[in-house]
């Protein structure tokens, strides 16, 4: 029995020129469960959304690169992600969930497999990590050129930021910190997020606008927050769909609409290229000689 809705086929036509080698810097892959079984301790069970589905979504949106963030439903088994990366000819990369006792040899193999970071969940329905876990892992991955991804909410974000600034590796705040936008652009949490402009190791994903806006399309309430982040730290901003949108509130988003929202908020073509192409290349080191989409 599934407790997540399936991904929606995007219907909204993209209304701007998507730059070559544009990247969806935050998406997931689920199964197919017949080949890549879900973890027995998962907190949700989604329908399959495998490599072929992801590749079709990418082609429909005019995107060529993707960062596959390991979902809770696959636990520490990275097989679905690394298989997708291997099929992408260097155009997909991954962010792992890893146990604290991961070995040096395992990290090196994951690096060869295209993994470029480790994610930690601090939101209430997925929580389990501590800042000590994050710090210890950061020390282990520093020489690999990896980064830490933080999935936080407003309360945990404010608690985490002072420690994150001391990490020896870059860190990324997913989904704009999932702040409470009802508190406005000058809330304590959002102002703390914007202050990351002064921390050279800090990055923010302007993904999850649908989640910030409570699932009410076209998610207008979240647009100003995206723009504020883009305006203040354009060199360290990433964009992603969060496809196939596990555990969303309201109707599953149309990914074409999400890309158009980014295009409307970020009107300058050169800045779009920076966020969609240049910035992700810094962190994920895609095969730069590829200008065609991933293939099976």
Phi and psi at residue 190, to the nearest 5° = -70, -35
Q: Residue 87 domain-assigned?
A: yes
Instruction: Give the tens place of pLDDT for each residue, 111-170.
Output: 999 999 999 999 876 667 899 999 999 999 999 999 999 999 999 999 999 999 999 999
CATH number of the structural domain spanning residue 157: 3.20.20.140
- How sure is the predictor about 294, in pLDDT bands with cuts at 50, 70 and 90? low
Predicted pLDDT of residue 125:
66
Instruction: Give the tens place of pLDDT for each residue, 42-83.
Output: 989 999 999 999 999 999 999 999 999 999 999 999 999 999
CA distance 65 to 88: 9
Q: Beginning with the edge strand found earlier in the chain, give each strand of the sheet holding 171-173 in spatial order.
A: 23-27, 65-69, 92-96, 115-121, 147-151, 171-173, 202-205, 237-238
Q: Residue 6 domain-assigned?
A: no
Predicted pLDDT of residue 129:
86
Q: Residue 112 domain-assigned?
A: yes
CB 248 within 8 Å of CB 212? no
Q: Between helices 131-141 and 154-164, what is the axis angle to 10°?
A: 40
CB 222 within 8 Å of CB 230? no
Asked if pLDDT for residue 291 goes beyond 60, the answer is: no
Q: Residue 8 domain-assigned?
A: no
Predicted pLDDT of residue 11:
84
CB 244 within 8 Å of CB 7? yes
Q: Residue 7 domain-assigned?
A: no
Report how many domains make up the chain.
1
- How sure is the predictor about 3, in pLDDT bands with cuts at 50, 70 and 90? confident
pTM metric for this prediction? 0.96
Q: Residue 131 domain-assigned?
A: yes
Q: Residue 17 domain-assigned?
A: no
Predicted pLDDT of residue 80:
98
Active-site residue among 24, 174, 210, 242? Answer: 242
SS (H, E, C) the chain: CCCCCCCCCCCCCCCCCCCCCCEEEEECCECCCCCCCCCCCCCCCCCCECHHHHHHHHHHHCCCEEEEECCHHHCCCCHHHHHHHHHCCCCEEEEECCCCCCCHHHHHHHHHCCEEEEEEECCCCCCCCCHHHHHHHHHHHHHHCCEEEEECCHHHHHHHHHHHCCCCCCEEEHHHHHCCHHHCCCCHHHHHHHHHHHCCCEEEECCCHHHHCCCCCCCHHHHHHHHHHHHHCHHHEECCCCCCCCCCCCCCCCHHHHHHHHHHHCCCHHHHHHHHHHHHHHHHCCCCCCCCCCCC
Predicted pLDDT of residue 33:
96
- State mean pLDDT over 257-285: 98
Percent of the chain at pLDDT > 70 equals 96
242 in catalytic set: yes
Alpha-carbon distances, residue 116 vs 152, 176, 225 (angstroms): 20, 20, 27
Predicted pLDDT of residue 289:
62
Percent of the chain at pLDDT > 90 equals 90
For the chain, the straight-line distance linking the first and the last C-alpha, in angstroms and rounded, comes to: 29
Instruction: Give the tens place of pLDDT for each residue, 23-48.
Output: 999 999 999 999 999 999 998 999 99
Q: Residue 293 domain-assigned?
A: no
Predicted pLDDT of residue 249:
81
Q: Which domain holds residue 174?
A: 23-284
Alpha-carbon distances, residue 296 vs 37, 51, 272 (angstroms): 20, 8, 28
pLDDT, the chain, mean? 95
């Amino acid at each position: 029995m599934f407790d997540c809705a399936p991904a929606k086929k995007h219907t909204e036509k993209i209304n701007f020129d998507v730059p070559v080698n544009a990247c969806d810097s935050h998406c997931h892959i689920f199964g197919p469960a017949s080949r890549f079984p879900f973890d027995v301790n998962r907190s949700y069970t989604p329908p399959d959304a495998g490599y072929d589905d992801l590749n079709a979504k990418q082609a429909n949106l005019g995107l060529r690169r993707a960062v596959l963030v390991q979902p809770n439903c696959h636990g520490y088994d990275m097989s679905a992600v690394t298989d997708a990366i291997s099929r992408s000819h260097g155009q997909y990369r991954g962010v792992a969930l890893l146990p604290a006792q991961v070995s040096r040899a395992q990290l090196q193999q994951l690096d060869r497999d295209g993994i470029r970071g480790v994610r930690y969940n601090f939101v209430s329905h997925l929580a389990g990590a501590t800042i000590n876990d994050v710090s210890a892992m950061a020390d282990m991955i520093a020489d690999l050129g990896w980064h830490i991804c933080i999935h936080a909410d407003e309360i945990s974000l404010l608690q985490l930021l002072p420690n994150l600034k001391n990490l020896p590796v870059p860190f990324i705040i997913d989904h704009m910190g999932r702040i409470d936008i009802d508190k406005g652009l000058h809330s304590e949490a959002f102002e703390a997020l914007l202050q990351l402009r002064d921390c050279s190791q800090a990055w923010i994903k302007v993904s999850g606008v649908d989640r910030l806006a409570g699932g009410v399309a076209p998610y207008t309430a979240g647009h100003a927050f995206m723009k504020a982040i883009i305006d203040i730290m354009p060199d360290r901003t990433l964009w992603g769909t969060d496809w196939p949108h596990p555990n969303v509130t309201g109707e599953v988003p149309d990914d074409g609409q999400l890309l158009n929202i980014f295009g409307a908020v970020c009107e300058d073509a050169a800045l779009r290229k920076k966020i969609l192409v240049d910035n992700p290349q810094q962190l994920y080191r895609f095969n730069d000689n590829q200008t065609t989409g991933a293939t099976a």
